[in-house]
Amino acid sequence: MKIKPYHLMIISSVLFSSCLDSIDETIDNGTTFPPVETNPANTNYQPAFPGQTRANGVKTVTPYVSEVLASSLSSPWGITSLPDGRLLITEKTGTMRIVSTSGTVSSAITGLPAVNSNGQGGLLGVCVDPQFSSNRMIYWVFSENVSGGNVTSVAKGKLSNSEATIENPAVIYRANPSANVGNLHYGGRILFDSTGNLFVSTGERSDMSTRPLAQSATAAVGKILRITTSGQPAPGNPTFSQSGALPELYSIGHRNPQGIAIHPVTGELWQSEHGPKGGDEINRVQAGKNYGWPTITYGIEYSGATIGDGIQQKAGMEQPVYYWDPVISPSGITFYKGNSVPEWQNNLFVASLSGKHIARLVINNNQVIGEERLLANENQRFRDITQGLDNNLYAVTDEGKLYRIRKQ
């Protein structure tokens, strides 16, 4: 196991950032730095408020280390903790594994429904029932082949006592309509709220024909959903005014949200969302709100053409808390609730795919006031991140690695 330290050295009363592998990723004592993004934006769009993009840079003071616990996972996609501290990890190809915090990887867990793992599909996000110690139930999102194409589906099952198989797996929800337009934009994250119901993120499936469905309250794609553990609409969901609106909808107007997390202080849902060419977003998701896609966006088409009317603001549509241009491809997110690294308290950590780093966002009054990029020298596509029961951060990469990030 290779451990990479990140620490500070004080020489002749001058503060230098240093680490054993010549990686500079430290300092945060109220000092700010220029924005970490130095590449030109794809557009000349202007933010709606100061700090909405390219926030000041910050650096971590507390010495910390990263270590690779496992490197042979098969396209890991989702990661969550079991009650004993071990990690349950999904692999895009359709398997789950349990990994100890010492790096021991289990055999593949059998019994899961077949997945469509083409493109961006596969076995996606996963969460553990709050009563797992007594019921051993887990819930996951996957892309499923159905009549008429494929869908983002939610399933549940019981992890056997031997941990070798999933018993009585059942699909409890399908985000209709199905689409036969490719294998992109499934969304795919899932987590429990404080009332024992499930938040699920779905993508709008990317195609020009399905993109407008993100604005339709009669379709479950391009949404944040809130459902019960049996797949029914959760009590207390908002009501949308559109005729035929689905009762499981929590928010609308999303492109491809691949990260959701609960703020540890406010209890509100936050979300990361892939933009097109520019316009990746962090949103504070509120019940019944419309987050704009594809009507408003800070991105453009990959061809360089404007999207729709090329507007970034519209009455009745929410602004992102933060956006990136150029994109970093934000996937899984987690809030840091530990105290081992004090300056990370309540910060949002974002797994970045194309950016190949973990973004640390310092948030104050629901605005991003600082950004740092961690593990940027690892050259990995970070897919998901979580905080373990030991207060350390754990992240998985498309290349098959599991990282632990902890205080030195």
Single-letter residue type at 126: V
Residue 219 lies in a domain: yes
Per the CB < 8 A criterion, the answer to whether 8 and 275 are in contact is no
Residue 126 lies in a domain: yes
Instruction: State the catalytic residue, choosing from 185, 254, 274, 357.
Output: 185
Q: pLDDT in tens for each of the 408 residues of the chain?
A: 778 887 543 222 222 232 323 233 334 556 889 999 999 999 999 999 999 999 999 999 999 999 999 999 999 999 999 999 999 999 999 999 999 999 999 999 999 999 999 999 999 999 999 999 999 999 999 999 999 999 999 999 999 999 999 999 999 999 999 999 999 999 999 999 999 999 999 999 999 999 999 999 999 999 999 999 999 999 999 999 999 999 999 999 999 999 999 999 999 999 999 999 999 999 999 999 999 999 999 999 999 999 999 999 999 999 999 999 999 999 999 999 999 999 999 999 999 999 999 999 999 999 999 999 999 999 999 999 999 999 999 999 999 999 999 999
Residue 139 lies in a domain: yes
| Secondary structure string (H, E, C) spanning the chain | CCEEEEEEEEECCEEEEECCCCCCCCCCCCCCECCCCCCCCCCCCCCCCCCCCCCCECCCCCCEEEEEEECCCCCEEEEEECCCCCEEEEECCCEEEEECCCCCECCCEECCCCCCCCCCCCEEEEEECCCHHHHCEEEEEEEEEECCEEEEEEEEEEECCCCCEEEEEEEEEECCCCECCCCCCCCCCEEECCCCCEEEECCCCCCCCCHHHHHCCCCCCCCEEEECCCCCECCCCCCCCCCCCCCCEEEECCCCEEEEEECCCCCCEEEEECCCECCEEEEEECCCCECCCCCECCCECCCCCCCCCCECCCCCCCCCCEEECCCCCEEEEEECCCCCCHHHCCCEEEEECCCCEEEEEEEECCEEEEEEEECHHHCCCEEEEEECCCCCEEEEECCCCEEEEEEC
Residue 29 lies in a domain: no
Pairing relationship of beta strands 322-324 and 348-352 according to DSSP bridges: unpaired
Residue 112 lies in a domain: yes
pLDDT of 373: 99
pLDDT of 313: 99
pLDDT of 30: 64
Number of domains in the chain: 1
> Which domain does 205 fall in, by range?
69-346+379-403
- Domain with residue 283: its CATH number is 2.120.10.30
pLDDT of 9: 31
pLDDT of 5: 84
In whole angstroms, give the CA distance from residue 69 to residue 242: 49
The phi and psi torsions of 346 (rounded to 5 degrees) equal 65, 10
pTM: 0.94
Residue 55 lies in a domain: no
263 is a catalytic site residue: no
pLDDT of 7: 53
Residue 33 lies in a domain: no
The phi and psi torsions of 348 (rounded to 5 degrees) equal -100, 130
